[in-house]
Amino acid sequence: MIKLKWDGTRISESFELPGGWVFFCFRQGEEPLWCGITPNLAQRLNFIRKKAEIDTRFAEVAALADSLDVESQERSVDALIRLKIFLGKNSVPHQQMMQPSRDYAYLALDARRFPFVTLKDDTNDHWTYAGPWRGRFLLYDVMDSLGRILKLPYCETENYPCEKLDQGICKGWCLALENGEDAELKKLDTLLNEAYLHPQNGILEMVAQERDKYFDDLDFAKADLLDEEIERLQSYRDWLNFLYVTKSLSWEEEDFGVENGLLRWCKHQGMRHDFPREETPYRENEMLAVNLNDLDERRILYEYHVKHRKG
């Protein structure tokens, strides 16, 4: 373990940060304030610094710490195990406040409610939800892409109809809603679900073919723009595949077991640790939504499974 001095929002000494997965714990004296795991400690510390610049409460908590403990871990699962055991044994008063998950977002769809596609911090209403995603900007970019490609609604103002209808880049779904055109709204419902909730809907492949066409025609500027769009759509598809799988992902290894996408037990330093939890009662409109507080654990285990066990 490495102990570093912490000064408000940064390490107060020159030190080369370890690479790879680490478990970290911010302390005031000997008392833990909050902890976490990351594959990129420098990036996490930069997040803390930037977040403290715009969030007064976050900055106040960050300033309470005077030291930072760092422990390198061989595998992502080892880091997760270390974190869960630590949280089970210690009171960590600012754990929720200082997590990046506070900035995660759910995608919400409803063909009979303006603005049809939006982002939400929770799943308490009656939209159809997927997520959460770690990046709001990725979702906005995907909404923009699908709006342009399929003329689906991407409503950026509260007033409608907007200039997108005049520009021919939207089919005026808001007017169908206002006029109660049920057949059109049923069509929109099908389109939204196909575009946003079906990983293998062919949209990515369609854009990739268009990109190759520009490249073959030596129009490299347009090809480069589509490269960025392809990357966004690929990231979205990957996350959607994860959401489809995680709630049923279960397996056991010699030193840990996974049940329904979450760590169920582990062996650590010769001792067995169990992590019982109540099953989350998901509603029908939350079939592709998971508990925000479980997301990072689920993603770590999914990526481990894909890398080490799948195939």
- Tens place of pLDDT for every residue, the chain, 311 residues? 889 899 877 787 767 888 899 999 999 999 999 999 999 999 999 999 999 999 999 999 999 999 999 999 999 999 999 999 999 999 999 998 888 887 899 999 999 999 999 999 999 999 999 999 998 999 999 999 999 889 999 998 888 888 888 888 888 999 999 999 999 999 999 999 999 999 998 999 988 988 888 888 887 888 888 888 899 999 999 999 999 999 999 999 999 999 999 999 999 989 999 998 888 889 999 999 999 999 999 999 999 999 987 65
Q: Examine the domain organization and report whether 152 and 123 are in the same domain.
A: yes
Q: Do 12 and 74 share a domain, yes or no?
A: yes
The pLDDT of residue 215: 82
CB 301 within 8 A of CB 289: no
User: Which candidate, 257, 293, 300, 299, places its Cα nearest to that of 278?
Assistant: 293
Residues 77 and 9 in one domain: yes
Domain boundary among 70, 98, 126: 98
> Rounded distance, CA 214 to CA 222, Å?
6
Of 158, 160, 142, 140, which is closest to residue 150 (Cα–Cα)? 142
CB atoms within 10 A of CB 256: 21
**84 and 23, same structural domain?**
yes
Among 188, 207, 237, the domain-final residue is 188
Let me know if residue 38 belongs to a domain: yes
Cα–Cα distance measured from residue 16 to residue 39, given in angstroms and rounded to the nearest whole number: 15
Token pair 């998971």 is found at: 290
- Residues 83, 71: Cα–Cα separation, whole Å: 11
Among the candidates 67, 82, 98, a domain finishes at 98
Verify that 119 and 93 share a domain, yes or no: no
Q: 209 in a domain, yes or no? A: yes
241: nearest Cα among 309, 162, 298, 172: 298
Same domain, 17 and 92: yes
Q: Is residue 139 part of a domain?
A: yes
Q: Residue 158: its pLDDT value, please?
A: 85
Q: Give the whole-angstrom CA distance, residue 311 versus residue 299.
A: 18
Give the range of the structural domain holding residue 6, as residue numbers without chain letter.
2-98
Reported residue count of the chain is 311
Q: CA 310, CA 243: separation in Å to the nearest integer?
A: 16
**Interstrand relation of 67-72 and 2-5 (parallel, antiparallel or unpaired):** antiparallel
pTM equals 0.90
Query: Is residue 159 included in any domain, yes or no?
Result: yes
Q: Is residue 193 part of a domain?
A: no
The separation between the first and the last C-alpha atoms of the chain, rounded to the nearest angstrom, is 36
Distance CA 200, CA 241 (A): 9
Note whether residue 24 is domain-resident: yes
- Regarding whether 82 and 116 lie in a shared domain, the answer is no
The answer to the question of residue 83 being in a domain is yes
Give how far Cα 60 sits from Cα of 7, 11, 30, 229, 311, Å.
Answer: 12, 16, 19, 39, 47
Give the burial class of 138: count Cβ atoms within 10 A of its Cβ; 0-12 exposed, 13-18 middle, 19 or more buried: middle
The whole-angstrom separation of Cα 80 and Cα 275 is 12
Residues 6 and 91 in one domain: yes
Q: Are residues 112 and 164 in the same domain?
A: yes
For residue 157, give both structure tokens.
Answer: 């103002």
Q: Are residues 236 and 256 in the same domain?
A: no
In 3-state terms the chain splits into helix, strand, coil percentages (rounded to 5) of: 45, 20, 35
Does residue 33 lie in a domain region?
Answer: yes
Does 295 lie in the same domain as 220? no
Contact 87, 293 (CB under 8 A): no
Residues 106, 130: contact at Cβ < 8 Å? yes
The count of domains in the chain is 4
CATH code: domain of residue 94: 3.40.1440.10
Claim to verify: residue 157 and residue 223 sit in the same structural domain? no
Q: What is the structure's pLDDT at 310?
A: 61
